[in-house]
């Protein structure tokens, strides 16, 4: 049975990936430091849904899921080099999926050290652990933010990404460079994924769509930056997870499909994971308004430092190499999120 470490296990994407992988002939270890960047109660709720009880969680101690076969969780920080190295030595992982990071463009302006620590030093510790323990493949989360203020659209993996406009973006670009170096020097197979505005049930409360829904529901003004002239390539969580599953099947050799079989998988590669259909933020707000049956109170503001005005993913590479396409349109995906939100927060 393949043993996989998934970092960021209490996070949005990590939680959904573990739900998909569980009971699927994978031995899974989920790792998270459960920091307080956003509401830890949501993180604990995700863990509970995965069968991990909050009351049993202690630092650097395994908790066995009571509902998922072959899933264990450990609270641990990637900055804790000694215990991270010991974990790798003891567990002898085959594969690592790194979804742990300090997220948020605007927060990186206010708390820069958290981004350097988590996204660079933490990632370096992970790379070293992978190298020293002969990990067969590392998959890690990058971000569409690396494209910066690129005006050429759609954004292609071949575009120059040397001009990030936020510290968060700079740390993600640094991850890509570090990963490339470890492939070049140590022959570590690595795959980076540039996620584009992932949304959906169990999502992050710091994201705009989450804040919009919460405030519109409670008749609180919402902040609409650049006077509403912002476009995002919103990508529904189920599509992201399906894409991750295809990649995991490829790197573990479960999917025998010519050039993407486990044995022939590229040593270092980067893929856009997006919807390829950018939408204006005003459209997003309208969908929420219509679902709730009430109008938003909008507070129009100028563009914020570090904000990208438009994201737009060129997904030809992921389509051609994995025969993968996203399936969820923004209307149906956002309605699923709204319905989850109303149920989870009992906010009818």
CB 127 within 8 A of CB 188: yes
Q: Exposed/middle/buried for 253, CB within 10 Å: 0-12, 13-18, 19+?
A: middle
Decide if 199 is catalytic: no
C-alpha 107/C-alpha 119 separation (Å) is: 13
Kind of pairing between the strands at 2-7 and 222-225: unpaired
Question: What distance in Å separates the CA atoms of residue 170 and residue 100, rounded to the nearest whole number?
Answer: 16
Q: Measuring CA to CA, which residue among 31, 24, 23 is closest to residue 5?
A: 31
User: How many other CB atoms sit within 10 Å of the CB of residue 307?
Assistant: 16
Candidate list 38, 71, 168, 236, residue with the active-site label? 168
Cα distance between residue 61 and residue 182, in whole Å? 29
Quote the Cα angle for 315-321-327, to 5°: 50
> CA–CA separation, 50 vs 17, rounded Å?
11
User: Active-site positions?
Assistant: 168
């Amino acid at each position: 049975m393949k043993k996989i470490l998934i970092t960021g296990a209490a996070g949005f994407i990590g939680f959904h990936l573990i739900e998909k992988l569980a009971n699927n002939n994978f031995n899974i270890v989920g790792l998270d430091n459960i920091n307080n960047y956003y509401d830890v109660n949501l993180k604990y709720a995700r863990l509970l849904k995965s069968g991990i009880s909050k009351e049993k969680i202690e630092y650097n101690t395994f908790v066995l899921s009571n509902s998922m076969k072959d899933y264990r969780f450990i609270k641990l920080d990637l900055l804790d080099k000694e215990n991270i190295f010991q974990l790798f030595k003891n567990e002898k992982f085959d594969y690592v999926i790194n979804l742990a990071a300090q997220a948020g463009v605007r927060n990186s302006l206010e708390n820069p050290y958290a981004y350097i620590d988590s996204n660079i030093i933490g990632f370096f510790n992970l790379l070293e652990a992978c190298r020293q323990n002969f990990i067969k493949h590392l998959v890690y989360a990058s971000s569409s933010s690396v494209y910066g203020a690129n005006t050429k659209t759609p954004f292609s993996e071949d575009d120059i990404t040397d001009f990030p406009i936020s510290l968060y973006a700079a740390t993600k670009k640094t991850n890509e460079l570090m990963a490339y170096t470890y492939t070049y020097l140590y022959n570590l197979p690595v795959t980076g994924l540039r996620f584009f505005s992932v949304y959906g049930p169990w999502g992050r409360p710091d994201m705009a769509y989450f804040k919009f829904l919460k405030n519109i529901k409670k008749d609180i003004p919402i902040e609409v930056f650049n006077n509403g002239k912002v476009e995002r390539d919103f990508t529904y969580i189920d599509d992201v997870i399906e894409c991750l599953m295809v990649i995991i099947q490829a790197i573990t050799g479960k999917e025998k499909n010519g050039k993407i079989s486990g044995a022939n998988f590229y040593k270092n590669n980067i893929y856009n994971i997006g919807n390829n259909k950018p939408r204006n933020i005003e459209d997003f707000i309208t969908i929420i308004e219509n679902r709730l049956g009430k109008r938003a109170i909008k507070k129009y503001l100028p563009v914020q430092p570090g904000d990208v005005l438009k994201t737009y993913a060129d997904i030809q590479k992921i389509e051609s190499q994995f025969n993968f396409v996203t399936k969820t349109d923004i209307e149906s995906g956002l309605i699923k999120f709204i319905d989850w939100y109303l149920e989870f927060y009992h906010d009818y």
